[in-house]
Amino acid sequence: MIRKKILLFIVSITALGLLGISNVTEASAAPEMKRLEGFDSSKQYNDLQGIEHTFVEALKYKTKRSDISEKSLLKYVYPSKTDTQLQTASASIKDCISYATSLGVQMNWVDANSEGIDFQILKKEIDKGNPSILCFKPKVPDWREPYLLALVHGYIFVEADGVSLKDPFQSLSIWTSNYIYPTTINVKEKTNSITMTDFSTNNNPEREYLHYGYILFN
């Protein structure tokens, strides 16, 4: 545990330095860092069920239940479909929240607003030990990926001191099922988008997504 915290601190200081925040050790407040203990951010999928994968990972982490899966989620939504049919089925965000409710888990949808991603909302969830989900829509509509869900599993926060750090440094650690980069979002004033890199695409690997809302546990 101590080793992990030291490593996280070293990585965070390195990241801050790369971002030009070289005087962080002189700032009036030390970095606040927290991650969801035991969350596996190495999983990757190559299919069109990104909504289901991300939602299930959040729900499994919260409940610690082993019987929750993409299949059980889709079977709840489409009880008459065969297992083969479920492999190419998809669920909406509303379906996912309804599935959680059927398991006795309450989740809320919160709309995005013009002020951008609210770092403090997500920080509070991590402090409580809860994953949360950032929801995005592709800037260019795509039927294959109507939404992008990013699971928030950690943060780094440094309070601004007006001298060495004029604005607060706010970084969220995220996991998405189909993308390996980026793994963080640096949240500044009115940050409301994210650009993902698809390394399987040669011509135009970068795709921009606009913030649409949050899914939070009660």
CATH number of the domain enclosing 49:
3.90.70.10
- Six-digit token pair at 214? 């949050």
pLDDT score at 198: 79
- Report the Cα–Cα distance between both ends of the chain, in Å, rounded: 28
Report cis status (omega within 30 of 0) of the bond before 182: yes
Between 95 and 163, residue with greater pLDDT: 95
pLDDT score at 9: 43
Confidence of residue 199 (pLDDT cuts 50, 70, 90): confident
Model pTM score: 0.86
* Domain that includes residue 54, residue range: 2-217
pLDDT score at 1: 47
Above 90 in pLDDT, residue 76?
yes
How many domains does the chain fold into? 1
Ordered DSSP codes for the chain: -HHHHHHHHHHHHHHHHHTT-TTGGGSSSPPEEEE-TT--------SS-HHHHHHHHHHHHHH--SS--HHHHHHHH-TTS-HHHHTT----HHHHHHHHHHTT--EEEEE--TT---HHHHHHHHHTT--EEEEEEESS--TT-S-EEEEEEEEEEE---SSS-SS-EEEEEEE-SS--B--EEE--TT--EEEEE-TT-SS--EEEEEEEEEEEE-
Between 55 and 22, residue with greater pLDDT: 55
Q: Using alpha carbons only, give the angle 73, 79, 80 rounded to the nearest 5 degrees.
A: 140
Q: Is the dihedral of CA 165, 168, 173, 179 positive or negative?
A: negative
The per-residue pLDDT of the chain, averaged, comes to 88
- Six-digit token pair at 177? 């099922």
Q: What is the pLDDT of residues 24-43, one digit of tens each?
A: 555 567 899 999 999 999 99
pLDDT score at 203: 62
Within 10 Å of residue 110's Cβ, how many Cβ atoms?
A: 13
